[in-house]
Amino acid sequence: MKHRTFFWFILPTLSAMVLFIALPIVSVAIQSLFVENEQVLVVSESCGPFGCKETTTIDAEATARLQEEQPLGRFNGLDTYVNRSHLAFAEVGEAWRSTDTLGEFWGQVSNLPFYRALFFTLTYTAVVTPVVIVLGLAIAVGVNNLPKLLKGPSIFISLLPFLVTPLVGALILFWMVDSDGIIGATIQRIFDDPSLSLKASTALTWTMLIVYGVWHTLPFSFITFYAGLQTVPEDTMEAAKIDGASKWQRMIHVVVPHLAPLMSFVTLMLLMDNFRVFEPIVSFKAEAHATSLSWIIYNDLRESGNPLYGSAGATSMMTIVGVVILLTPVLIRTWRNFNRKAH
């Protein structure tokens, strides 16, 4: 294809992506270097019969004018990145000096908002991804063994949790496990402990968020693997059967290696999607026990009347760095493959 033709074909989509994905990233980077304007204060002295009194008032007009002149706020350099709500170097250093054991140190650090969110996001990603891959493969094999009549309906049912709106799907589960819901109330009755509820326990909240994550993403890996199973070469399977391999051995030595490329694709997709976990925390109202990187950005932007663009920008930039780190191995491998193909 000629360069010129290529250019005209790609122009609309490319300009959409540059304007609304690339430029916003630049805009986020710039925002993260600024903080909100301070309110302009006026100190006036009023003298009465009992001496003089200093009063401080907010000059609303001057504040508005300042906001007009500098919508971004004041330049702050990298200070936002290292303040208490983000990397918190000072607090981490203090915790390092003042604590004796690693556990204690960790206890202090994991109370800082950014580390808390990072820790949950990483745990969620690291637990949900492998569980979903293993269970997805197991269910794909199971469905593949079903009679033909049952395959269609089971795929239909499986698609529901995956395609349902994340916020809505999480709400549906939340209403069931909440202390008045069918599962939550039953658990309370079994353990005879009315204080046992999602709202009161960090461990339960984390578990339920992870259960939601598995429920929501399992169908993706299941269906991808199910499609992959249809392409397993029959000859190899037969040969393995003749050689006396049991079902389990055939699974490990024939099916899994055949699905390996699919597995790395599924892993990549799951990592990307799990890393941006966000909606379930809103639905579960879980912010007291678990926050994610996406959620703290959302929270900064919602700060009523006065969104904290600088703070949201700094967290966004660090999230983007995290995504890039996740993607690097894939990008490197694809690049190598492309070069091999090209030569």
Partner 1 sequence: MTTKSQSRIAVPAVSGKARFRLSPFTVISLALVALWLIVAAFPFLWTFWGSFKVQSDFFSKVDWQNAIYGVNTIKETGSPFTLAGYYGAWVDEAFWRNVINSGIVVFFTVIISLTIGTLGGYALARSGRRYAFWLLMAALAFRAMPHITLVSGYMLPFFEWNIWGILPTTIIVLVAINQPFTLWMLHSFFLNIPKDMDESAMVDGCTRFQAFRHVIIPVMWPGVITTGLFSFLLAYNDFAVTAMLLSSENETIIPAINSFLGTTQVEGKVMYAVAAVVSATAPLFVLILLFQRQIVSGLTAGAVKG
Residues 197-226 binding partner 1 (CB under 8 A) are 215, 218-220, 222-224
The yes or no reply on residue 304 touching partner 1 (CB under 8 A) is: no
Strands 34-35 and 41-48: unpaired
Regarding 195 and contact with partner 1 (CB under 8 A), the answer is no
Cβ at position 115, least distance to partner 1 in Å: 18
Q: Is the dihedral of CA 61, 62, 63, 69 positive or negative?
A: positive
Contact 296, 113 (CB under 8 A): yes
AA letter at 147: P
Asked if residue 126 binds partner 1 (CB under 8 A), the reply is: no
50 touches partner 1 (CB under 8 A): no
* Buried-exposed string 218-241: b where 16+ CB fall within 10 A, e elsewhere: bbbbbbbbbebbeebeeeeeeebe
Figure out which of the listed residues 131, 176, 187, 232 binds partner 1, where binding follows CB under 8 A.
176
The angle subtended at Cα 123 by Cα 119 and Cα 129, nearest 5°, is 145
316 near partner 1, rule: CB under 8 A = yes
**36 touches 83 (CB < 8 A):** no
* Integer Cα distance of 142 and 146 in angstroms: 7
By CB under 8 A, name the one of 40, 181, 196, 245 that touches partner 1.
Answer: 181
C-alpha closest to that of 73 among 28, 42, 31? 31
For partner 1 (CB under 8 A), the number of binding residues is 110
- Least separation in angstroms between residue 292's CB and partner 1 is 9
Question: Which of 75, 331, 333, 336 is in the footprint of partner 1 by CB under 8 A?
Answer: 331
Nearest approach, Cβ of 125 to partner 1 (angstroms)? Answer: 12
Binding string to partner 1 for residues 8 to 37, with x set by CB under 8 A, is what? -xx-xxx-xx-xxxxxxxxxx--x------
List, in sequence order, every beta strand (DSSP E) within the chain: 34-35, 41-48, 51-58, 74-75
> Residue 340 Cβ, how far from partner 1 at the closest point, in Å?
13
**From the CB of 243, what's the least distance to partner 1, in Å?**
10
Q: Is 324 in the site for partner 1 (CB under 8 A)?
A: yes
